[in-house]
Amino acid sequence: MMQAGDRGLLWAGWSVLIGSAAIVVAVPLLMLMRTSWVEGRGRLAEVLTEPGFGTAVAHSFELSAAATGLAVPIGIAIALVLRDPRLPGRALWRVAVLLPLLVPDFVLGYSWLRAYARAGLTSELFGFAWTGVQGPVGVAVIVAVSAVPLVYLIITVGLATRAEPITERAAHASGATALTVLRTITLPLLAPAIATAAVVIFVLTLGTFAVPQVIGTPAGFSTITTRIYADLTYGSDPQTFVDATTLAVLLVILTLVVVAPADVLLGIRLQLSRTSATDLDWPSGGRIGRALKPLGLAIYLIATSGLPLVALVSAAMTRAVGVPSTPANWTWDNFLAVLTPRTGEALGRSLLLSFAAASILLILGLITAGLGRTPAGRGVSVLITLTLVLPGSTVAIGMLLGYGRWLADTVAIILLAYLAKLWALAHRPISASVDRLPLAGLRAARASGANLATGLGTVALPLIRPALITAWALCFLTALHEVTMSSLLYGPGSETLAVVVLNSADLGRVGVTAALSVLVTAIVLLPAAALWALTRRARA
């Protein structure tokens, strides 16, 4: 029975959800659309027929399809391998898989070039270079590899929610092979989580910019986002600025076409109300399988995270690009260039901003997931995906157009931009775990006299704590090294860490930018380790 307090809580939830969606997402999107319509509708035909436009749209979709097609199976495979509690060093692997999340986008491309391109690390060490890294294949591989941790997280939450080890064991006992069990039981049960991961990766890749720009441009590979960047670069000409906003609006429409049907479909499929059994007794393969799995995982992680990270650290430690990274050439200069009193101040601000953004996003993500089963809730979840797909620069422009008059140069406008860009990233992992909620337990609490808030706080929240911690950490890490939006929105007294480094050196001085990412990695490793310990406690 609905109590007066419950109605109040629901009302507050809807108010926060709709108010925030309006302020954070709808206003900037509408401002972009307004600019595009009022100033650019006369040029729409020209934008659509400009040489290379069709190719760029095709490239964007091909890249999204390829990255999704690569990242989702790899992420599922890793999640399944790491599901086995008897896997040697499982705790360590679980952390290692998340390493790509720590590397900022703007150095990701460089780290791969330094690792694999002509005259790169593999060339120095083994005489082997991967020439294809600079081109469409390289872009797809790098984007996919950086998306794998996200797929892994979503599938892991899915496994915790949906897997049925008892049925799997029964199938094993009846003589089914591991592959048959996977094909006929595990994967079908995981289907909604897989679909969620696929949508998130597809959308994220549509909006990705830094890797296509650094790795794709030399091979003549342009996407919608690289064209938006090129238009903004010549944005001193009002026509090209408006063209950039038109391209951004087109990207939003294309995303809507892809995401809205998928979300409606997923929304229905996610409405299950049972809890799964614990996976502690999950049957794993034979001895050979158990030995091969860590080997495969190690090879994958060394190739995709190890070598690029070593390349990054060596760039940060070496006095110049192109000299061998031997002790004679090691220097702390790049770190000293990053560690100045100004960067110290900016670091404090960045930590505070990221903490604030991640904490607000946690609340917003929770409310969106909680109310996401209604048609209006699903509408909001589609809406917040639209700012995830926009390149950071256009989100920032939307914010300036909407709020620049009052909030220009303040920390508040940067915070709003972070909320807009990362809301979907916070919401999706939480949303994928809400049907773990035991409605029976919740009903029992209510029947015993607990109001909705107490029921949610004592029964629901503890169960989805791993998903909450995951969402918070994802947002905190992403916000900490964000540079595109901050560099457009900052003002005196609101510089973030990445902005200060960008301004002192541009991003062209790779030694300094590599030092920045090593520093950011070090800064987040400590809280990440603490969070990981918390997650373990929460799961125990």
Partner 1 sequence: MSRGRRGFTALAVGLLLLTTGCSQPATSRSESITLYTCVNDTTVQPVISAFKAANAGAEVQLFRAPTGQLNARVASDVRSGGLRADVIWACDPLTMQDFVTQGLVGGWTPQTDIPETMRTPDYVGIALLYMVAITRKGQPAPANWQQLANAGKVAVPDPKVAASALGALAYFGTDFYADLKSKGAVQVSTPDDVTTGVAQGVYDAGMTIANSAYAAAKSGSPVTVSWPKPGAVAIFGPVAVSKATENRQLAQDFASYVTSQEGQTVIGSSGSYPTLPNVPGPTKPENAPTVQPDWKTLASEKAALLKDYATIFGG
> Which residues between 320 and 349 bind partner 1 (CB under 8 A)?
320-323, 329, 349
Q: Is 507 in the site for partner 1 (CB under 8 A)?
A: yes
- Min CB(476)–partner 1 separation in Å: 14
Q: Which of 317, 310, 309 is nearest to 335 (CA)?
A: 317
- Per-residue interface string for the shown chain with partner 1, residues 90-119, x marking contact by CB under 8 A: --------------------x--xx--xxx
Residue 51 or 175 with smaller CB distance to partner 1: 51
Q: How far is the CB of 513 from partner 1 (least distance, A)?
A: 10
What string of DSSP letters covers 93-126? Answer: HHHHTTGGGGS-HHHHHHHHHHHHSTTSHHHHHH
Given the rule CB under 8 A, which of 177-185, 299-307, 389-397, 532-540 is the region that contacts partner 1? 389-397
Asked if 494 is part of the footprint of partner 1 (rule: CB under 8 A), the reply reads yes
* Least distance to partner 1, CB of residue 41, Å: 16
Residue 356 Cα to chain centre, angstroms: 18
419 interacts with partner 1 by CB under 8 A: no
- Closest CB 481 distance from partner 1, rounded Å: 17
Of 301 and 488, the one with the shorter C-beta distance to partner 1 is: 488
- Residue closer to partner 1 by CB (options 407, 480) is 407
Residue from 10, 504, 531, 534 touching partner 1 (CB under 8 A): that is: 504
Contact 507, 513 (CB under 8 A): yes
- The nearest distance, CB 440 to partner 1, in angstroms, is 23
Instruction: Determine which residue in the list 232, 460, 469, 520 makes contact with partner 1, applying CB under 8 A.
Output: 232
Tokens of 66: 């390829």
Cα angle 475, 481, 485 (rounded to 5 degrees) comes to 85
Bridge partner residues of 360 (DSSP): none
Is 353 or 528 the residue whose CB approaches partner 1 more closely? 353
Name the nearest CA neighbour of 482 among 465, 503, 492, 497: 497
Percent helix, percent strand, percent coil in the chain, to nearest 5: 80, 0, 20
Q: How far apart are CA 440 and CA 445, in angstroms?
A: 9
Q: How many residues bind partner 1 (CB under 8 A)?
A: 79
* 388 in contact with partner 1 (CB under 8 A): no
Q: Which amino acid is located at 287 in the chain?
A: R
Nearer to partner 1 among residue 321 and residue 529 (C-beta): 321
Q: How many C-alpha atoms does 130 have within 13 Å on its Cβ side?
A: 19
SS3 127: coil
The total of other beta-carbon atoms located within 10 Å of residue 95's CB is: 12
Supply angle C-alpha 517, 518, 524, rounded to 5.
85
Q: Is residue 9 near partner 1 by the rule CB under 8 A?
A: no
Determine if 418 is a binding residue for partner 1 (CB under 8 A): no
Token pair 């507050």: residue: 12
Q: What is the nearest approach in angstroms of partner 1 to the Cβ of residue 319? A: 5
SS (H, E, C) 342-356: HHHHHHHHHHHHHHH
Among 42, 51, 175, 286, binds partner 1 (CB under 8 A): 51
- By C-beta, is 93 or 241 nearer to partner 1? 241
* By CB under 8 A, residue 411 contacts partner 1: yes
* Residue choice 407, 430, 459, 475 for contact with partner 1 (CB under 8 A): 407
Distance (Å, rounded) from C-alpha 202 to C-alpha 424? 13
The smaller minimum CB distance to partner 1, of residues 160 and 452, is found at 452
Q: Give, to the nearest 10 degrees, the angle between helix 497-505 and helix 341-370.
A: 130
* Residues from 19 through 48 that contact partner 1 (CB under 8 A): 35
Using rule CB under 8 A, residue 319 touches partner 1: yes
Give 196 or 343: the residue with its C-beta nearer to partner 1: 343
Using CB under 8 A, which residues numbered 446 to 475 contact partner 1? 457
Among 440, 503, 522, 536, binds partner 1 (CB under 8 A): 503
Alpha carbon distance 369, 381 (integer Å)? 8
Q: Using CB under 8 A, which of 3, 167, 284, 410 touches partner 1?
A: 410
Residue 236 lies near partner 1 (rule: CB under 8 A): yes
* Subset of residues 240 to 269 that bind partner 1, contact rule: CB under 8 A: 241, 244
For residues 126-185, which are near partner 1 according to CB under 8 A? Answer: 134
Q: Is residue 453 within 8 Å of residue 9, measured between CB atoms?
A: yes
Give SS3 for 277.
coil
Classify residue 106 as exposed, middle or buried by CB count within 10 Å of its CB (0-12, 13-18, 19+).
Answer: buried
In degrees, rounded to 5, the angle at the alpha carbon of residue 188 between the alpha carbons of residues 263 and 423 is 30
Binding of partner 1 by 54 (CB under 8 A): no
